[in-house]
Structure 1
Amino acid sequence: MRRGARYRWVVLAVATFTQAASGFFVQGIGAMGIQLQRELGLSTAQLGLLVSAAQFVPLVGLLVAGELLDRCDERWVVGAGAGVVAVALGAGALVPGYAGLLAVLLVVGAGYSTVQPGGSKSVASWFHASQRGFAMGVRQAGLPLGAAFASAVLPLVAGAFGWRAALVTGGFVALLGAVAFMTLYRRPPGRAVLPRARTPRGVRMRLLREPAMVRTMLAGAGLISVQCGVGILTVLYLHEVAHAGAGAAALVLVATQGTGVLGRIALAAWSDRVGVGRQRAVVVCMVAVVAGMAVLLTPAGRSAAVACCAFLWLGFFGFGWYGPWVAQVTESAPPDRTGFALGLAMSVNQIAIVAVPPLLGLLKDLSGGFAPAWGLLIAMTLAALVASVRTGGARRSADPAPDRDEVACPS
């Protein structure tokens, strides 16, 4: 039993690593923006479309992955998805130009569809509710952690050897994640794989009407838009507005991703201790990101020092929200539908992930500045905040059943 309790930390480590490795290349696209624009002759809108391409298939793929995760062992579902990411990126080194790169990223998105909900479910199944927020925060920190390394490494690789070499690098890192998860992940003792029928339509509609789930999905869609905007626009903003060099701007993005790692862990750990579940931490993040982006709209935001501080702030809250948010999703779902609930909530986020990056790029191209892009993100976050607070008075989902936690966390 004690050995099983210790093994949960191995599960947490491997799930975090696989998350970071699978998203490594896509999360580095923003940092490579200057090189990609130079080598492929891209507009800002086309650069944003690269990120959207990687997120397009998960609109449906996350729902499919959720069904698979409720019926199959996460070990093979996640491992196979990360393997698809690796193969697609490796093969992408042979494709010609921008159109080929878009096609590669569509396949990458299909593989990544299983990694996000699968890793979350694997961690949730091993940790008791009293520690689940912290564990989810650490696991979800894998995304900005991978992005920070990608922002540091991929621009150097692309600058020295070209964008195709960056694809190969991303494929190799994703392959390491796939091998690690398939080798090390095990289900908790006492938790069997139960064959399960496809999720009935009535269950899906009930989840969509559940106040806690609606509140969570609205907040997620607003905050994921901010995360996309920071990832795509930080380097370009610092380079064009604050007159920072390309290398220095990329380092600021690395630091921003680093504060995101801290935010995901710290905010998720805090959400374990507040008396109203995870919602308070998510609301705090929405208020904080509105304040941070408002600074970028002021004349002070044109100063390199002020802009850097604003982006670090946005990293902590604009990336940190995901830890408590994903813990809230798992605790809002029926115990036997956790995978589907994660897939559903994350697929709603995908709508924003697909639509927002090219829209922000188009606004920047048409206006010649960044104010419309920041203004749009502020408006979306405020709308999500108002809607979330209004539904906050509705019935909150109960904590997971005790027997679920006892099985999931042997001691």
Structure 2
Amino acid sequence: MSGGESTHRTWRYRWVILGVATFAQAASGFFVQGIGAMGIHLQRDLSLSTAQLGLLLSAAQLVPLVGLLVAGELLDRYNERWVVGVGACVVAVSLGVGSVVQGYASLLLVLLIVGAGYSTVQPGGSKSVASWFDASQRGLAMGIRQAGLPLGGVLAAAVLPVLAAALGWRVTLTAGALVALLGAVAFMCFYRRPPAQSHPWDSASHYSEPRASLASWFGARLRMLREPSMVKIILSGMSLVSVHSGVGVLTVLYLHEVTAVEAGPAALVLVATQGAGAVGRICLAAWSDRSGSGRYVCVLACMVAVTVGMLALITPLGHSPAAACLLFIWLGFFGIGWYGPWVAHVAESAPPGRTGFALGLAMAVSQIAVVLAPPVLGLLKDLTGSFAPAWGLLAAMTAIALAVTARGERQHRRAPSRPRATA
């Protein structure tokens, strides 16, 4: 076999890497993505308020506040195969244990451990894909990979409510454990690193850094937070991930209570919403590959679309079953689809040799919104008896982030480039 044929076959393997990274994410997030679809069943069987239902989602997202930072550093030091694989196994084992626990408090504890395992899967899969694809296809690849989460949500919203209705909610945890285990096995069996670490973020030069104190190590990495590009990333990420969380936990309840759609059809609308999000992550990321204005312009467009959609839900249009269903699908496409171009932008903005940590840092800070949004939105609904304050809060957050980051993007584009120093 000639060298050219060998290289072609090797780089063709990047599509296998993309496939297993996407499957691992979909499998690891399968159960948590189905919590919103099972909302009616969980509220009935466990006597939960809307805020308590939101806390279940928050429990799964709490540990990643720190776990994503730890995972990012591990990914810059060790093989992604084991970092991601072990994390997915933790998800599987904890869900298996959760299927036999008793009560709401025990379920919260189980979901905390699920979040610890998932901390490695999200940045790990992103770094795996980024290292195998060059800039001309990275956005599309990242979009396909990030579609794993809503694709898992599609399957979860279609399957888990049926299982919960027929066999009880505990069986859904067993199903989630088996699916997560399949994802872990697939990733550990098929993943391998690129044969030549040719990308700047694959550089291992930082491994030879002299040992420093924990404070200086942590401080050096957190200095990324002061970078204008990271500020822009975090503001947009926190607003849009709040929208994603709100849509995930409130869609079925809103359709059932406000538009009188039955529980089964309402869950199917969430399936369609998650499916639209998966399509959005691929299409919007592919657009960012070809956009002469840069990847972040795609994120700005998503923020505009999300603000319009949220405000429309507050109007009489949101009380029409057909219109509300279409609005949620719109919010799925843009309010979930934004993540594809966003995460590609994060990977390309990272300093050399720090891609894993930059991804972990951006995701960890955004995770604050993931943790807070479901219970806060649920509490707003419980206190006011209306979904309008929740939709209004999400629209306001997104509009503010849009105004701030769009202004920063314009200033960045107008700034003259600095001439390079010559020897």
Greater shift after overlay, 293-302 or 58-67? 293-302
177, 182, 189: which one aligns with 1:183: 189
Question: What is the distance in 2 between the residues matched to 1:201 and 1:317?
Answer: 34
Corresponding position of 1:230 = 247
Mapped contact 2:31–2:176 kept (Cα < 8 A)? yes
Corresponding position of 2:337 = 320
Correspondence list, 1:4-403, <5 A: 4-191=10-197, 194=204, 195=207, 200-395=217-412
Mapped contact 1:52–1:354 kept (Cα < 8 A)? yes
Shift of 1:12: 0.2
Percent identity, aligned pairs only, is 70
Gaps of 5+ in 1: 398-411
Mapped contact 2:64–2:119 kept (Cα < 8 A)? yes
User: Compared with structure 1, are the counterparts of its residues 60 and 285 closer, same or farther at alpha carbon in structure 2 (3 Å cutoff)?
Assistant: same
Question: What is the distance in 2 between the residues matched to 1:300 and 1:386?
Answer: 26
Mapped contact 1:137–1:322 kept (Cα < 8 A)? yes
Mapped contact 1:71–1:193 kept (Cα < 8 A)? no
Deviation per residue, 1:103-145 (Å, 9 max, x gap): 0000000000000000000000000011100000000000000
Gaps of 5+ in 2: 1-6, 416-423
Mapped contact 1:53–1:354 kept (Cα < 8 A)? yes
Question: What is the distance in 2 between the residues matched to 1:374 and 1:385?
Answer: 16
Question: What is the distance in 1 between the residues matched to 2:401 and 2:304?
Answer: 11
Deviation per residue, 1:266-296 (Å, 9 max, x gap): 0000000111221110000000011111111
Deviation per residue, 1:53-108 (Å, 9 max, x gap): 00000000000000000000000000000000000000111111100000000000
Q: SS state of the match for residue 271, structure 1?
A: helix
Q: SS state of the match for residue 272, structure 1?
A: helix
Corresponding position of 1:409 = none
Q: SS state of the match for residue 304, structure 2?
A: helix
Question: What is the distance in 1 between the residues matched to 2:48 and 2:223?
Answer: 44
Mapped contact 1:72–1:193 kept (Cα < 8 A)? no
Question: What is the distance in 1 between the residues matched to 2:403 and 2:221?
Answer: 25
Name the Cα RMSD after superposition.
1.4
Shift of 1:205: 3.9
Question: What is the distance in 2 between the residues matched to 1:165 and 1:322?
Answer: 31
Alignment-mate amino acid for residue 48 of structure 2: L
User: Compared with structure 1, are the counterparts of its residues 193 and 108 closer, same or farther at alpha carbon in structure 2 (3 Å cutoff)?
Assistant: farther
Mapped contact 2:203–2:353 kept (Cα < 8 A)? no
Question: What is the distance in 1 between the residues matched to 2:146 and 2:222?
Answer: 27
Shift of 1:395: 4.3
Give the number of equivalent residue pairs: 397
Alignment-mate amino acid for residue 366 of structure 1: L
Shift of 1:196: 5.3
Corresponding position of 2:421 = none
Corresponding position of 2:420 = none
Question: What is the distance in 2 between the residues matched to 1:146 and 1:115?
Answer: 14
Alignment-mate amino acid for residue 252 of structure 1: V
Question: What is the distance in 1 between the residues matched to 2:311 and 2:75?
Answer: 40
Deviation per residue, 1:229-279 (Å, 9 max, x gap): 000010000000010000000000000001111100000000001112211
Greater shift after overlay, 5-14 or 192-201? 192-201
TM-score where L is the length of structure 2: 0.92
Question: What is the distance in 2 between the residues matched to 1:375 and 1:196?
Answer: 50
Question: What is the distance in 2 between the residues matched to 1:202 and 1:105?
Answer: 30
Question: What is the distance in 1 between the residues matched to 2:218 and 2:254?
Answer: 45
Question: Higher Cα Rg: structure 1 or 2?
Answer: 2
Mapped contact 1:241–1:302 kept (Cα < 8 A)? yes
